[in-house]
Amino acid sequence: MSHFSWKQRVLIVPPIVLGGILLFLAPGMKAEPPTSTQSTGKKVVRILKIEPRQLQPVAVGYGHTEPAQEWEAQSELDGTIIWNSEKFQEGNIISKGTPLLKIDPSSYELEIAKLDAEIKVAKLKDETISASLKIASEEYKIQRSEYERSLQLSKTGHISKTEKDRATRELLSSQQQLQTLKNNLVINQAEQQVLQTQLSLAQRDLKQTTISAPFDLRITEKLVGFAEYVNKGEILLRADGIAAVEVSAQFPLGKMRPLHQAINKNNISGDLHNELDVLIELNAGERIISWNAKVNRSGGHIDAQTQSQSIVVRIDDPYGQAQPGKKPPLIRDTFVKVTLMAPVLKKQILIPANAIHQNKVYVVNDEGKLQIKPVKVAFIQDQIAVIKEGIEVNDKVIVSQLSPAVKGMPLKPQPDKKMIEWLNKTTGFDVKKTPKTEGKS
């Protein structure tokens, strides 16, 4: 058994006393969790103060150009090409009436000479018959008088029945000769008409030996050349008219809705053509080239697969508008963008489409609290919603995300200048300034 000295025993006492003190004070030293206090701060939101704006409803489609007029020249005759113009080359622009090809006319010239001779003979024959007819008519009058005299003498018994019969036969013979000459004259005149018709046809064929441009055009395909024999109906060349170009562009039906509402029409037809402006744009790499156009007609049907409508627009004088190095002429199969523009709508309530939440809009009321308003949308264009009902001028529409959105919650609104700039740029109109240029050439 070990024994401790009194000094060692004294050293044990202080730790025991210290431990007791710590056990006594421990409950009072326990750390308490911080009490949570309810925040009364207002949530910051970005707003758009509503002011009446202008908007031009537009619809964008795409299509390929094609000439308003095309010419597929077919030979109406058989023969050999004996001449072709130096301009008869693919790509050349030809003015209306310019001769391009000539088919050997010799056979048609001979036919015309033959018919001319036959007509002259017929006219000479006509004169001969007319002269004979005049003589036969006089002879018939004499025979008629002789017959009437013999008839009277026969009644009184001064001539025999044989003499009377002879006078009758001579009258009938004279009458038959006269009628034959009359018939021959009619037949000869009819034959002259036939010959004259044949002559007209031959003269027409002779004119058709020269193939000339029926309108101002650009040759796209050359199919025959000098000294080649062509058959009737054979295609000689293909060409495109240069007076106008058309584009049949496809427009989704949903995109046409703003145009319909802007002009209060249900179909792109009739006098609606005069109310739409059209802008044609060609993406030429580093720059966009544009042309003014007009709506010509509707394509007449709805595409069953894409549910799009075909609208045909027309660009007049595309070659006359060309500028070397700046603006090329519009030729066949050029892929272009077509923008239809309705008249400008004024005093419209416009907000970004993403500010609408299940047909409701969040608004900061005069008390600085959240108000939820139901709205009716007329249409949406370029992510801009045109509000028909529910929003009024000077309303403060919340355009930032707000979650959760509790009616009556306090808010701290801040004007969104970038949203105003975006609306100005997208619509092309500033609230307090004159309309911007629409980008037409």
CATH number at residue 320: 2.40.30.170
Give the mean pLDDT of the chain.
86
Do the domain assignments include residue 1? no
49, 394 Cβ separation under 8 angstroms: yes
CA distances for 291 relative to 68, 318, 320, 425, 438, angstroms: 16, 8, 12, 22, 13
pLDDT > 70? residue 65: yes
Domain that holds residue 160: 107-207
- pLDDT of 17-56, one tens digit each? 566 666 555 555 544 444 333 444 789 999 999 999 999 9
pLDDT > 80? residue 239: yes
111 lies in the same domain as 178: yes
User: Per mean pLDDT, which range of 170-179, 229-238, 268-277, 411-420 is the poorest?
Assistant: 268-277
* Own/partner pairs, 402-408, CB within 8 angstroms, 24+ separation: 402/43, 402/45, 402/362, 402/370, 405/357, 405/362, 405/370, 405/372, 406/370, 407/370, 407/371, 407/372, 408/369, 408/370
- Cα–Cα distance between 339 and 433 in angstroms, integer? 24
Give the pLDDT score at 213.
97
pLDDT > 60? residue 359: yes
Query: In the listed set 160, 189, 207, which residue is the last one of a domain according to the structure?
Result: 207
Do the domain assignments include residue 99? no
Give the pLDDT score at 309.
85
266 lies in the same domain as 186: no
pLDDT > 80? residue 268: no
331 lies in the same domain as 352: no
**Total number of domains constituting the chain:** 3
Do the domain assignments include residue 315? yes
Indicate the SS3 state at residue 366.
coil
289 lies in the same domain as 357: no
Do the domain assignments include residue 78? no
171 lies in the same domain as 154: yes
pLDDT > 70? residue 269: no
197 lies in the same domain as 284: no
Average pLDDT over residues 189-204: 95
321 lies in the same domain as 351: no
Give the pLDDT score at 367.
94
CATH of the domain at 395: 2.40.420.20
311 lies in the same domain as 400: no
364 lies in the same domain as 294: no
Give the pLDDT score at 31.
41
272 lies in the same domain as 307: yes
326 lies in the same domain as 375: no
pLDDT > 50? residue 152: yes
289 lies in the same domain as 334: yes
Query: In the listed set 341, 376, 408, which residue is the last one of a domain according to the structure?
Result: 341
Do the domain assignments include residue 27? no
Give the pLDDT score at 441.
35
Do the domain assignments include residue 440? no
Query: In the listed set 341, 367, 392, which residue is the last one of a domain according to the structure?
Result: 341
- Cα–Cα distance between 251 and 256 in angstroms, integer? 7
Do the domain assignments include residue 6? no
- Cα–Cα distance between 150 and 138 in angstroms, integer? 19
Do the domain assignments include residue 370? yes
